[in-house]
Amino acid sequence: QKEVEQNSGPLSVPEGAIASLNCTYSDRVSQSFFWYRQYSGKSPELIMSIYSNGDKEDGRFTAQLNKASQYVSLLIRDSQPSDSATYLCAATREGAQKLVFGQGTRLTINP
Amino acid sequence: DTAVSQTPKYLVTQMGNDKSIKCEQNLGHDTMYWYKQDSKKFLKIMFSYNNKELIINETVPNRFSPKSPDKAHLNLHINSLELGDSAVYFCASSQAYTNGRDTQYFGPGTRLTVL
């Protein structure tokens, strides 16, 4: 099993709808979780980080972590065409900054 | 102000050549990283330095040699380039190494094409 797994997509969502991105992880990474957004030809940029079970909201973005199910998700409300990008789920090991990335989910918001 | 910068942005070279990529961060961070992103967009860590000391060395061929002259700079030298080295190489930095919650800031990337 890969340490961090995502559905590579593409995921297509109409403008204004909720985009839901999912990620599962193995026991080898289980401490801190991050969602990065990467536009085509650009570098990854951090959108959200989450460390505890439950939901964390920041504007239109909500990260959800369920450690029992080893599952982390990102919800984007009121999706905009500018949200079209690849979303990378990443996790670190305890006490280390070694980020392990999933393969990314390509999201397209259709006007 | 550029936080993490890399040069060059594009690098096209022949197989067998030796090339270097340079990275600099002006964030005052202690830790720097090199990542490789392949054609399928999979991003994987290669090396990490903390205060000029190598702390992460993934399974990377010996042809790749990082060097950190000071904590603001991390360079990557690649010997005897192969076709499979073609990828985008990202430099990143974070405040510290021991805290697994520190945000990593990525540079703009260097697209290496080996012909």
B59 touching chain A per CB within 8 A: no
Tens of pLDDT along chain A (111 residues) come to 788 999 888 999 999 999 999 999 987 777 789 999 999 999 999 999 999 999 999 999 999 999 999 999 999 999 999 999 999 999 987 656 688 999 999 999 999
B residues 7-26 lying closer than 8 A (beta carbon) to A: none
What value does the mean pLDDT take over residues B65-71? 94
Task: Considering only the beta carbons, identify the residue of A38, A99, A104 that sits closest to B45.
Answer: A99
CB atoms within 10 A of CB A37: 21
The pLDDT tens digits for B1-52 are: 679 999 999 999 999 999 999 999 999 999 999 999 998 888 999 999 988 8
Average per-residue pLDDT for chain B: 92
Which residues in chain B are closer than 8 Å to A31, comparing Cβ atoms?
Answer: 100
Q: What is the pLDDT of residue A3?
A: 87
B41 touching chain A per CB within 8 A: yes
The residue of chain B with its CA nearest to that of A6 is B42
Spatial neighbors of A46 by CB under 8 A, at least 6 apart, are A34, A35, A36, B103, B104, B105
Best mutation site among B41, B51, B97 for testing chain A: the one with the most A CBs within 10 Å?
A: B41
